[in-house]
Amino acid sequence: MAESLYLGLDVGASNIRVGLGDEEDLYSDKLREVPTEDYWSEEGLRTLIIETLELFEISLESLDGVGIGVPGLVNTDENKLELCFALDELSFTEVSKLDIDISIENDANVAVMGEKFYGDGGNNDNIVTVIMGSGIGGGVYYGGELLGSQIKGRSPEPGGLSVEGETIWDEAVGGENLPEYMETLMDDEEQKYKVSDMSAEEVFKLSEDDEVIADQLEKLTELNAKGITNLVNLYAPELITFSGSVAVNNPEFIRKSFEKVDELAINPRPDMKISKLGNRLGLYGALALAQKTDKNN
């Protein structure tokens, strides 16, 4: 193993992904996933770190840092999750008592850090990472700096950008809202499909064989393109990458949205792609957070 070792925790509402890695990559044989509810407490996260190191046969002393990405508003000065709709607020005081550098950051910021350090971000100064899952979130590097990191755990909220009148991007294309919004676009006859009772995954699957649903999904690619165009015009990015279940599982939907951006954007077209780091982007980002903290100390 390399000289520098980092442990990353990608905390989600349902599961926590944990992985060990170095400056080059995650170790494929040093990954695990556990239910969030089993460990979501001050002592629980501390136990998870110690338990994981024992499982991986790694000593705490051999680690150079731990990075933790969490959904919500993080007070990075006090190591506290202060606002989260999916999880209870939590202090990381007990975790911080471990004799190792531990950094906590908003998960959207962590995701774009993963792209910068381990993905296709490279030397680009302006990078946007869009997370398209149950909702739409994202992180931004602008002028080589992580946007929002200067104001204690805040991050851009691209899902709140307007894409059609008063409709915001998250309402139209976020995984939890997509079926219900699609139904509002349908006429009385088409509403017999009752897509609002379906999951986004079921809608995308049905669109493969049903022309009506495929046509409605085409309308949503236009709104998705408007959301992406907002980012192109706001941040003039050199690169936009996409992660999250909606993007990763439906690459054709994303590709069609890219094509429409060319017709809408004022700024030059950036390189746009689904992140090669896939659904492990948050875990790579947690490693990047630990690495960045280590380098700054």
pLDDT at site 113: 96
Structure tokens at 250: 């439906």
User: Looking at residue 95, what DSSP letter applies?
Assistant: H
Cα–Cα distance measured from residue 107 to residue 74, given in angstroms and rounded to the nearest whole number: 9
Q: How far apart are CA 124 and CA 140, in angstroms?
A: 11
CA distance 273 to 243: 9
Burial class (CB in 10 A: 0-12, 13-18, 19+), 266: exposed
| Rg for the chain, CA atoms, rounded | 20
Q: Burial level of 130, CB count in 10 A (0-12/13-18/19+)? A: buried
Tell me how far apart the alpha carbons of residues 287 and 5 are, in angstroms, rounded to a whole number.
9
Alpha-carbon distances, residue 48 vs 43, 167, 257 (angstroms): 9, 41, 40
What is the model's pLDDT at position 97? 81
Of 236, 219, 239, 117, nearest to 178 (Cα)? 219
Q: Which of 20, 10, 149, 157 is nearest to 71 (CA)?
A: 10
- For residue 35, the model assigns a pLDDT of 96
What predicted TM-score, i.e. pTM, was given to this entire model? 0.90
* Per-10-residue mean pLDDT, the chain, length 297: 84 93 94 95 92 94 93 78 77 82 90 95 94 91 82 75 96 95 92 92 95 95 97 97 94 95 94 94 96 78
Which domains are present in the chain?
A: 6-116+279-296 (3.30.420.40), 123-276 (3.30.420.40)
* DSSP letter for each residue of 139-156: EEEETTEETTGGGSS---
The candidate with the shortest Cα–Cα distance to 17, out of 278, 247, 293, is 278
